[in-house]
Amino acid sequence: MTAYDDMTTAARSPHPRAAVFDVDGTLVDTNYLHAVCWWEAFHQQGHRVAMTDIHHTVGMGSGRLLDRLLGEDRDHEGDDALDAAHKSLYATYFDRLPVLDGAADLLRALADRDWRIVLATSAQGSELEALRRAIGADDAIRDATSADDVDASKPAPDPVRQALEDADVPPERALFVGDTVWDVEAARRAEVGCVALLSGGIGRAELEEAGAIAVYRDPAALLADLDASPFGRMERA
């Protein structure tokens, strides 16, 4: 039984709050794995794409990623093969996905403080299952929104809005934690404040320019500063 099976935790708070988390690069150290797997998928199909450009698209759904890297006017016939190659290559890491320091402890700490924890990710199916196994904190997670559940991926606000619906919490009672400018933009468009982490490899200046309300090195750093963070400030409001 998880912390949410009988909803006793949520029942303690008359005004529930939601903590919505991206997964790749935010809770699990996978952004560069995705970049390498996409690079290899492109290479197999005869495309030359710079690794740095791939890295800066991680966090988007595959359709948006391909639009940005190969152009919207490309021949779309090869898209399914590229997506399948990326998924196949990435699946080879499923048994050794590296969780970021403090990730599980952060989720549990927030759940203990009556935050409803929802994941909002482009991962789906077996990939999402592997990520959740790596994190090892299903007892703290209320729900997960994947690419299967929305019409448009980040930077569209759909994943964040769906997560809020799953949590049954309004935007003003929620915070989003992500690691890319696409996360920040999706949160902003959903009218949710975004706490950004540097663990995905995107610089502080880029994240702040996109609209992040606070920036931390990784989940452990956010956990260590939780009382003074936007989470603590919302609890005291």
Give per-residue pLDDT as tens, 69-123: 999 999 999 999 999 999 999 999 999 999 999 999 999 999 999 999 999 998 8
Domain ranges of the chain: 9-29+97-236, 31-92
Cβ burial of 21 (10 Å; 0-12, 13-18, 19+) is: buried
Which of the four pLDDT bands, split at 50, 70 and 90, describes residue 14?
A: low
Paired residues of 20 in beta bridges: 118, 176
Pick the CATH number of 31-92 from 1.10.101, 1.10.287, 1.10.10, 1.10.150: 1.10.150
Q: Which CATH topology does 9-29+97-236 take?
A: Rossmann fold (3.40.50)
Which of the four pLDDT bands, split at 50, 70 and 90, describes residue 13?
A: low
Mean pLDDT across the chain, nearest whole number?
93
What is the amino acid identity at position 52? T
Put simply, whether the predicted model's pTM sits higher than 0.85 gets the answer: yes
Quick count: other Cβ atoms within 10 Å of Cβ 110?
24
Give per-residue pLDDT as tens, 187-212: 999 999 999 999 999 999 999 999 99
What are the tokens at 168?
A: 């049954």
Q: Nearest CA to 177 among 162, 192, 167, 156? A: 192
Alpha helices in 45-102, H assignment, sequence order: 51-55, 62-70, 79-91
**Does residue 55 surpass a pLDDT of 90?**
yes
Paired residues of 176 in beta bridges: 20, 194
Is the alpha carbon torsion for 161, 196, 182, 132 positive or negative? negative
Which of the four pLDDT bands, split at 50, 70 and 90, describes residue 148?
A: confident
